[in-house]
Amino acid sequence: MSIEKITSKILSEASELKEKTLSEARKESDAVLAEAEKKAQEMIEDSKKRGLEEKEKIISRRKSVADIDCRKVFLAKKQEIIGQCFDKAVDEIISMDEADYIGLLTALGTGSGMTAGQLIFNEKERAAIGQKVVDALNGAAEGRSFVLSEETRKLRGGYMLMCGQTFINNTIEALVEEARPELVAEVAKIMFPA
């Protein structure tokens, strides 16, 4: 064989080997690239899925917080309205018929267990009914010695009964406040039926 044929054969074999090697490298490169693209796409999909899940969790948490805040505001408004009802009850008691009101204040005094003391009213009630309540208390049983105090206080209605260092709160606001724990559930049921 001649050198030209040998050289031609070597070149031909080298060219075939080159083509085969390049083809295998392209296939391997394409496979690596395809695998990388597949993994990248999986990562993108996984990130999207986790992002959506996290988004849903955040929305759910914020909705829960908003619901709680809404309930707090609603409860505060309910309590405010209930408080206004009890304030109105004080006003209604204070503005009841004078004879009935004096009867109520007398009953509060006789129920205190005291048989003597000074009755301290607000200015308006002291002038209007103070002495009448004192007379009614003294007339309720023998041996009573209640007097009308010169002192007045800022009370909405009723009086403070003072005997020495002891004070008994017979104000209408105290009477209503004392009844409040027992009545608040009933008032709420009436005001806000389920």
Query: What is the DSSP pairing of strand 166-171 with strand 158-163?
Result: antiparallel
* CATH 3.55.40.20 at 96-191, yes or no: no
Taking the C-alpha atoms of residue 63 and residue 43, their distance in angstroms, rounded to an integer, is 29
Taking the C-alpha atoms of residue 115 and residue 124, their distance in angstroms, rounded to an integer, is 25
Higher pLDDT: 190 or 137? It is 137
Specify the pLDDT at position 150. Answer: 95
* pLDDT of residue 149 exceeding 90: yes
Average pLDDT of the chain?
88
Specify the pLDDT at position 145. Answer: 93
Point out the least confidently predicted range of 30-44, 52-66, 125-139.
30-44
Helix (H) or strand (E) holding 140: helix 131-140
Contact 100, 129 (CB under 8 A): no
Instruction: Give the domain ranges of the chain.
Output: 96-191
Q: Give the Cα-Cα-Cα angle 172, 189, 105 (nearest 5 degrees).
A: 15
- Kindly report, residue by residue over 103-116, the tens digit of the pLDDT: 999 999 998 888 99
| Single pTM value for the model | 0.64
Contact 94, 172 (CB under 8 A): yes
What separation in angstroms does the CA of 37 have from each of 60, 65, 76, 103? 34, 41, 57, 93
Taking the C-alpha atoms of residue 25 and residue 146, their distance in angstroms, rounded to an integer, is 116
CB atoms within 10 A of CB 38: 10
